[in-house]
């Protein structure tokens, strides 16, 4: 559950814009912000210690508004959303940017942009290091994984590739037997929001014949987001880190190979991988 606190009319003289005179002279911007959080604990205790100070949020927005100028109000809105979502209790934020003195040749009263962001939809301010798990058990899986890595690298930067491991298929009890799976892990950096990265991974899956008919069914390609920076979130759409990140050998062993210093949920991936290695049927270090 989330409630919304609105701060309307936060105004400042700032230098955002694409024209030189906008950056030299500046102009007035006004910001409306609605930040969402569960206010019940604050209402129950009547304590500022469990609330979010709207004075603090207003100061944060004002400071971000007068910071280093950017060209576009789209960029400005994203930066303001990022500043508000830095408050741990905030679940989502709506930002309305008003630019009433924008340089236009026709009469108008205002130019506005409204965005709503959560931690999953927020565009990162700098590249985020993420972990992807790839696998499959239909067709030439190693070949498919090689091709999928090539496809992924067109939009994200691949930092490291883990070894290729073979494990028995995870299946629902009573379902037909399946061929063994081949899996690997990629460490990447991306400027995509978490939901954008998820959509891109699903596009790559579809490009390689992925079909979703049943849970844990056989597949040509699976691309899962295991970790997205330090983000911890659980939604119907996406859980980060991945729910199986601390227990699945076919993720842990290649992940430890790709990044020996990695940690997940406060635990060393290399130690988790060592404990799970007995379930690995085959491992190929140099396979690309």
Give pLDDT tens digits for 224-281.
999 999 999 999 889 999 999 999 999 999 999 999 999 999 999 999 999 999 999 9
Domain regions of the chain by residue span: 3-118, 128-284
Domain 128-284 falls under CATH 2.60.120.380: no
Whether residue 213 is predicted with pLDDT greater than 70 in this model: the reply is no
User: What does 229-251 look like in DSSP terms, one character per residue?
Assistant: TT--EE-SS-EES-TTTTT-HHH
Active site residues: 99
Angstrom distance (rounded) from CA 83 to CA 76 = 11
| 235 vs 131, residue with greater confidence | 131
Q: Which of 28, 32, 34 is nearest to 9 (CA)?
A: 32
Find the mean pLDDT for residues 36-54: 96
Q: What is the DSSP letter of 135?
A: E
CATH-assigned architecture of domain 3-118: 2-Layer Sandwich (3.30)
Q: Provide the pLDDT for residue 211.
A: 76
Q: Provide the pLDDT for residue 171.
A: 72
Q: What does pLDDT average to over the chain?
A: 95
Whether residue 216 is predicted with pLDDT greater than 70 in this model: the reply is no
CATH fold match for the domains 3-118 and 128-284: no
Percent of the chain topping pLDDT 70: 98
Q: What's the first-to-final CA gap in the chain, in angstroms?
A: 46
Q: Is the peptide bond before 226 cis (omega within 30 degrees of 0)?
A: no
Whether residue 9 is predicted with pLDDT greater than 80 in this model: the reply is yes
- Helix, strand, coil distribution of the chain in percent, nearest 5: 30, 30, 40
Residue tagged 């298929």 (tokens):
169
């Amino acid at each position: 559950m989330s409630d919304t606190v609105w701060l309307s009319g936060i105004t400042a003289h700032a230098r955002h814009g694409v024209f030189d005179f906008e950056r030299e002279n500046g102009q007035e911007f006004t910001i409306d912000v609605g930040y969402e959080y569960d206010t019940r604990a604050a209402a129950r205790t009547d304590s500022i210690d469990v609330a979010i100070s709207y004075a603090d949020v207003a100061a944060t927005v004002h400071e971000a508004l007068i910071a280093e100028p950017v060209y576009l109000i789209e960029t400005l809105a994203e930066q303001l959303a990022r500043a508000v979502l830095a408050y741990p209790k905030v679940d989502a934020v709506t930002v309305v940017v008003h630019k009433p003195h924008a340089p236009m040749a026709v009469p108008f009263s205002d130019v506005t942009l409204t965005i709503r962001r959560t931690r999953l939809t927020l565009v990162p301010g700098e590249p985020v290091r993420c972990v992807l798990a790839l696998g499959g058990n239909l067709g030439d899986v190693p070949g498919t994984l090689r091709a999928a890595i090539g496809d992924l690298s067109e939009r994200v930067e691949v930092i490291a590739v883990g070894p290729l491991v073979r494990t028995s298929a995870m299946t629902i009890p009573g379902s037909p037997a399946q061929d063994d799976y081949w899996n690997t892990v990629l460490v990447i950096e991306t400027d995509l929001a978490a939901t954008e990265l998820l959509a891109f991974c699903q596009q790559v899956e579809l490009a390689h014949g992925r079909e979703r008919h049943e849970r844990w069914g056989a597949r040509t390609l699976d691309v899962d987001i295991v970790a997205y920076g330090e983000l911890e979130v659980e939604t119907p759409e996406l859980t980060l880190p991945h729910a199986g990140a601390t227990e699945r050998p076919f993720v842990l062993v290649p992940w430890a190979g790709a990044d020996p210093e990695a940690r997940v949920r406060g635990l060393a991936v290399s130690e988790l991988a060592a404990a799970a290695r007995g379930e690995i049927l085959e491992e190929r270090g140099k396979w690309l």
